[in-house]
Amino acid sequence: MTGYAKTAMLMAAMTALFMGIGYLLGGGAGLILALALAAGMNAYSYWNSDKAVLRMHNAQECNSQVHPDLQRMVHRLADDAGMPHPRVYVIDEDQPNAFATGRNPENAGVAATTGLLRRMSREEVAAVMAHELAHIRNYDTLIMTVTATFAGAISMLANFAMFFRGGRNGGGNVIAVILVMILAPLAAAVVQMAISRSREYEADRVGAEICGNPLWLAAALEKIQGFASRIDFDRAERNPQTAHMFIINPLHVHKRDKLFSTHPNTENRIAALVRLAESSGQAGVSRVQSGPWS
């Protein structure tokens, strides 16, 4: 199934959920209001969800003055993969991590944290960027960014329900509000889980192909997982609906973070990359040691 088909199914499901919650909170009027809201969100998320996610993380676009080496690297990798050049962004966060966004390869961007540039070697950074380019080439980014927008909206409904007043039936309305308060955050988690974990394995495989060495990506994943488990990523904790977009789950501070564990086990991903290296005759290549970006 294509990324566009998956996104259409997601939008239809989220529209139905919005309308159901609207009916619970406000009857027929609430249903109509929710339908209008869902229609607006569908249009907004398709055209602007990538920009919204980049704003959430205060991403700064690279240019000739801002991390030009990273921009050149990504553009060379894109050329090797036969892809359009994506926009390249840097996020000022100590935790090493990265994500891709955009509705199609012609309107895409990749973002890396400053921690990734400080803590990884050039080969490892290249492997991580190649993984993100694979998401773009596979059209994963459309559904990833739309999902992030909808998950945030669902969580917002829970906060709205806390202050909801009125309704034709006071007792029934209280029950509806309680249900929304409980179920809306759970629904946000379910939306996150709607993103198939298999996409990460496929992006690992294609990313290894783009960068030329599966062991570079294996080494990067191992290091990022270690750093992510002990370095806070404050913006990601404030916007947990974007966690599934990162190469490694950036969340670890709050108990709720377990709800957003949309990534496959990192050890399994590394093992798959090692097997890929063995099958391609690269098993004897040493893992890249930790080294400075610049």
Q: What is the pLDDT along the chain (294 residues), one digit of tens a residue?
A: 555 666 667 667 767 776 777 776 667 776 787 777 767 766 776 677 788 889 999 999 999 999 999 999 999 999 999 999 999 999 999 999 999 999 889 999 999 999 999 999 999 999 999 999 999 998 888 777 676 666 666 666 666 665 655 444 444 566 666 666 666 666 656 665 656 666 889 999 999 999 999 999 999 999 999 999 999 999 998 888 788 889 999 987 655 545 446 688 899 999 999 999 999 877 544 444 444 454
What is the C-alpha separation between 213 and 284, in angstroms, rounded?
Answer: 11
Q: Is the domain of 114 the same as that of 22?
A: no
Q: Are strands 98-104 and 87-91 parallel, antiparallel or unpaired?
A: unpaired
Domain boundary among 156, 173, 193: 193
Element (H, E) at 89: strand 87-91
Q: Computed from CA positions of residues 166, 17, 144, 85, in that sequence, does the dihedral angle turn out positive or negative?
A: negative
Q: Is the domain of 122 the same as that of 203?
A: yes
Helix (H, G, I), strand (E, B) or coil at 161: helix
Q: Is the domain of 128 the same as that of 211?
A: yes
104 - beta bridge partners? 107
292 inside domain: no
Catalytic residue list contains 237:
no
266 inside domain: yes
Question: Can you read off the two tokens belonging to residue 83?
Answer: 């892809």
272 inside domain: yes
Strands, E assignment, 115-271: none
71 inside domain: yes
Using alpha carbons, select from 245, 286, 5, 17 the residue that is nearest to residue 110. Answer: 245
Catalytic residue among 132, 200, 267, 278: 132
Residue 239 sits in a domain of what CATH number? 3.30.2010.10
Strands, E assignment, the chain: 60-61, 87-91, 98-104, 107-113
Helix (H, G, I), strand (E, B) or coil at 113: strand
Residue 264 is given by DSSP the state P
What is the C-alpha separation between 38 and 16, in angstroms, rounded?
Answer: 9
Domain boundary among 193, 227, 254: 193
Residue 14: domain span: 3-54+145-193
Rounded to two decimals, what is the model's pTM? 0.78
294 inside domain: no
